[in-house]
Amino acid sequence: MIVFLHPSSPGYLTRQDSIAVAGTDDLIIRALLDKNQFHDPLDEALNLGISSATWPLFGLLWPSGMRLAERMALRPVTGERILEIGCGLGLASLVAHRRGAQVTASDCHPLARAFLDENIRLNDLPPLRYRHGLWGRAAQREDGLPVLTAAKDAQVLGLFDLIVGSDILYERDDEGALAGFIGAHAAARSEVWVVDPNRGNRAAFHKHMTLAGFDLHEQLLACPAKGNSLAYKGRMLTYTRA
Domain membership of residue 186 (yes or no) is yes
pTM of the model: 0.91
**Domain range for 153:** 43-241
Q: From first to last of its 242 residues, what are the pLDDT tens digits of the chain?
A: 555 565 655 689 999 999 999 899 999 999 999 999 999 999 999 988 899 999 999 999 999 999 999 999 999 999 999 999 999 999 999 999 999 999 999 999 999 999 999 999 999 999 999 999 987 655 554 444 445 444 457 899 999 999 999 999 988 898 999 999 999 999 999 999 999 999 989 999 999 999 999 999 999 999 887 777 788 999 999 999 98
Q: Is residue 9 part of a domain?
A: no
Question: Structurally, how many domains does the chain consist of?
Answer: 1
Query: Is residue 225 in some structural domain?
Result: yes
Please check whether residue 37 lies inside any domain of the structure.
no
Give the neighbor-by-neighbor strand order of the sheet with 129-132. 129-132, 102-107, 81-84, 160-166, 186-196, 232-241, 215-223
Here the CATH number for the domain that contains residue 226 is 3.40.50.150
Task: State how far the Cα of 117 lies from the Cα of 75, in Å rounded to an integer.
Answer: 23
H/E segment holding residue 114: helix 112-122
Distance CA 216, CA 200 (A): 17
Is 16 inside any structural domain? no
Residue 108 DSSP code: S
Instruction: Assign 32 to helix, strand or coil.
Output: strand
Residue 142 lies in a domain: yes
